[in-house]
Structure 1
Amino acid sequence: MFRPLERYQLTVDIVVAVLFFLGTVLFTVLPYGYWNGVDTTASVVAAVVLTAGFSVALGIRRWSPPLALTLAWVLALVQMSFGLPPLPANVAIFGILYVTAAYGTRTLFWVGFASAVVGAVAITAYLIVPPLIRGGWSLMGAIEANLIVGITVFFSAALALLLSWTVGALVRTALRARENRRAQERAEAETVVEAERNRIARDMHDVVAHSLAVVIAQADGARYAAARNPDAATDALAAISGAARSALADVRMLLTQLRHSEGPGPQPTLADLEQLYAHVRAAGVDLRVDVDPAPVAEPPAAAQLAVYRILQEALTNALRHGAGGAVDVGLSWHPDRVSLIVRNPASAGSATGDSRGHGLIGMRERAQLVGGTFEAGLDGDVFTVRATIPIGAAV
């Protein structure tokens, strides 16, 4: 029944209603005043009251479209009952029909359409039938002439009333399209935010899992070597400290991205692979890396990040779930793609690879994000990770 409006909208509607009343009442009173030599006091009073009523209906049209339409119908019927001619204030009907189509409910939308058609019929009957009755029904020629006039009046009134209703319907369509567009933009923004959160979660998992794997391996080595080889224990503790500091820096960077999404920190590149290999070798792993062919140009940043994160997770899995022994890494940089393979001896507990489930999911998502492929599984006694990253699609 009542629509919420801003304060400025209410102020504008009230000012428009007051100005409308002042303007229309002036053009209503002048033709009927005593200075014209005709005493039409009752007609003038009724016209002024109706003008005030139509001004009120115009002022509340946006606040309450159904109330404005109801008031307009009541005033129109009162006007016809007094036998008054069309008034300047009747122009308010066009604005009221407009808001019923633009802002009304679905029911009021069609009630406004019906009001335009019925209103055209009422106008035609009010303007044609009384003169026809006063002229006498026996005059067939007059009836036919008035019938033609009546048809003309009906179509003219219907065209005018339906035109205002149609404009409102077009505005209604535009408003709904704008709301749908805004809803779509909000949904897309939420999707982008969710994707960014998932990316940061994957980065957090990669950083923490890799660093903890290095720390655990070094701690175990230091514990076993503490008694027999204090120097090795010292080196292991130094490696633990370095891995922890690196992880702390990466976590701080990710937390900064969470707080300030508009300013993401630097992402790992191929230049950071040597540091990754050094961490793994420092954990006591015999890591062998083969790059053939090498990249001839700077690969896209997305491809570099995907290769780094997949290698990081694969080497972390080799530390945590491998059976010891050498770990082989192969990188082949082709013009259109990069192929990656990581092999390590599988332990008895990783016969199915289930213990690596979350890491495998993260690596698969990394590859799929840039349009690549990923597969991992046992090849005899060796656990193999293969990934292909299309360089062109990763731009």
Structure 2
Amino acid sequence: MFRPISRTWLIVDIVGAVLGFAVTTPLTLFFSATQLSAWSGASALAVTASVVASAVVWGAAAIARLSPALALGVAWFGAVIQMGMGLAPAVYDLGIMVVLFATAAWGSRRLLWIGGISALGGGVLGGLYFGVVWSGELLTDAASALRAALIATLLASVFVLAMVMSWGAGLLWRVILRGRETQVARAQAEMLAAEEQERVRIARDMHDVVAHSLAVVIAQADGARYAAAAQPEIASEALGTIAQTARGALSDVRLLLTQLRHRQGDGPQPTLADLETLFAQVRQAGVEPRITVDPMPPGEPPGAIQLAVYRILQEALTNAIRHGDGAVEVHLAWLPDRVDVQVRNMIGGDAVPTVGGHGVIGMRERAQLVGGSLQAERHGDQFVVAASLPIGGPVAG
């Protein structure tokens, strides 16, 4: 029955209704003084009835935004008073226009159509009522009756047009409000989707950086532990590699956390020039990658492709360090329209990267972000990661 509205709008509506009453009531009394006396038969009673009808109509307008249904009922009650007392349509009937606007703008779907029917029915009823009253004054022969009927029809058309226009204006405002709500909802959904994509990207980068760095650190730590007694210099070299790898990982993690906290754009990302450093870390972890690049890149590949190649190789080599047994074969083919990436490594026993794990999922997402595809599966005693990335394909932002 009552809509939740702010106190400010309620005050504005009440003040507006009071001003409407204060302006239209004297105008009605001024312009209709003769008709009031003639139709009612008693000027004082007619003035009182006109003031009461005006107060009821503008009272309905005051609560039109708060409760359109109640306002429509009160407005009909005011119209009944007006017609029951034999009063002509007056300036204060503008309050009815306000109520009709409110039923279409803020009412329920059912009230919307009730308001439309009221606009049509009220306009026809008002025109016929005024025509009948006018006919009572002029009806003397068939010509006067016809003239009265024409006047009633004309007035009914004018009243219907005015009321339907008020209702239609409310309907237009309703459409505008719904459009704004849709735009706000869509903007919120897009913002949430962008935030989710950013969280996924940061989580993916965090996994790539941390997983690879920890794999190198663990391999170096195991090697240093076994070599500490017999070859202390190897242990010292391994500890240096651990420190260097940990510092790099810490720097990358700090960058990702800064982006997450301050919503900054992407920081510096790895490129093909960083692959040699990646391969060196893998060698230091005890895995020797055999690298083949055929054909070579034709010029400078797009930055997104370089990042995708780096991250896919980083994760594939990390899995080789964790689960592999022996050398790793890395093959890159830079074709005119795509780059094919393949990483093969021997796996020991039943050890195999989980196809549905975060690492494989992250590699697949990397490929999909640049419009490519990736497969990771076991072929006999080898685990093969194969990706095909289109050069110049769609890149998801």
Offset at 1:46? 2.2
3-state SS of paired residue (2:66): coil
Deviations 1:67-101 (A, max 9, x none): 22121111111111111122210111111101100
The aligned residue for residue 113 of structure 2 is: 110
TM-score, with structure 1 as normaliser: 0.91
The aligned residue for residue 297 of structure 2 is: 295
3-state SS of paired residue (1:349): coil
Letter in 2 for 1:220: D
Offset at 1:267? 1.9
Q: How does 1:352-391 map to 2 (within 5 A)?
A: 353-354=353-354, 357-391=357-391
Does residue 210 in structure 1 map to residue 212 in structure 2? yes
Offset at 1:217? 0.8
The aligned residue for residue 237 of structure 2 is: 235
Q: CA RMSD in A?
A: 2.5
The aligned residue for residue 346 of structure 1 is: 347
Offset at 1:297? 2.6
Letter in 1 for 2:92: A
Q: CA 1:388/1:255 → structure 2, altered by over 3 Å: closer, same or farther?
A: same
Greater displacement, 223-232 / 155-164: 155-164
Offset at 1:309? 0.8
The answer to whether the 8 Å contact 1:300/1:394 transfers is no
Offset at 1:37? 11
Offset at 1:229? 0.8
Deviations 1:321-376 (A, max 9, x none): 1012x21212222332111111211221136x537733222211111111112122
**Distance in 1 separating the partners of 2:355 and 2:102:** 64
The answer to whether the 8 Å contact 1:207/1:251 transfers is yes
Deviations 1:100-137 (A, max 9, x none): 0011111211110121122123213321234445667x
Structure 2 portions without partners, runs of 5+: none
Letter in 1 for 2:284: A
3-state SS of paired residue (2:304): helix
Q: CA 1:262/1:5 → structure 2, altered by over 3 Å: closer, same or farther?
A: farther
Q: How does 1:305-320 map to 2 (within 5 A)?
A: 305-320=307-322
Identity fraction in percent: 51
Offset at 1:228? 0.9
Does residue 248 in structure 1 map to residue 271 in structure 2? no
Q: How does 1:123-162 map to 2 (within 5 A)?
A: 123-132=126-135, 140-162=142-164
The aligned residue for residue 327 of structure 1 is: 328
Letter in 2 for 1:367: A
Offset at 1:377? 2.5
The answer to whether the 8 Å contact 2:272/2:310 transfers is yes
Q: CA 1:87/1:8 → structure 2, altered by over 3 Å: closer, same or farther?
A: same
Greater displacement, 309-318 / 1-10: 1-10
Letter in 1 for 2:59: V
The aligned residue for residue 59 of structure 1 is: 62
Structure 1 portions without partners, runs of 5+: none
**Distance in 2 separating the partners of 1:262 and 1:371:** 25
Does residue 90 in structure 1 map to residue 93 in structure 2? yes
Deviations 1:276-309 (A, max 9, x none): 1111111121122222333233222211111111
3-state SS of paired residue (1:348): coil
How many residues align structurally? 391
**Distance in 2 separating the partners of 1:8 and 1:219:** 69
Offset at 1:165? 0.8
Greater displacement, 101-110 / 37-46: 37-46
The aligned residue for residue 45 of structure 1 is: 48
3-state SS of paired residue (1:327): strand
Letter in 1 for 2:192: E
The answer to whether the 8 Å contact 1:132/1:146 transfers is yes
Q: CA 1:394/1:357 → structure 2, altered by over 3 Å: closer, same or farther?
A: same
TM-score, with structure 2 as normaliser: 0.91
Q: CA 1:236/1:70 → structure 2, altered by over 3 Å: closer, same or farther?
A: same
